[in-house]
Amino acid sequence: MFEHHSNNLKYDFIIIQDTLHHLEPLNVALDLVKSLLAQNGKAIVVEVNGSNWFEQLKYFKLRGFKKVIKMYDEHLKKEIMFGNENIRTYSQWNKAFNVSGLKIEPETTEYIRFYYPYYYKNKTIETVQQQEDKLWRQNSFYKKYFFFGLNFTASIK
Quick one: pLDDT at residue 143? 96
Could you give all domains of the chain from N- to C-terminal order, each with its CATH number? 11-156 (3.40.50.150)
Give the model confidence (pLDDT) of 53-97 as tens digits: 999 999 999 999 999 999 999 999 999 999 999 999 999 999 999
CA dihedral 76, 36, 105, 58 (to 10 degrees): -10
Strands 149-156 and 37-48: antiparallel
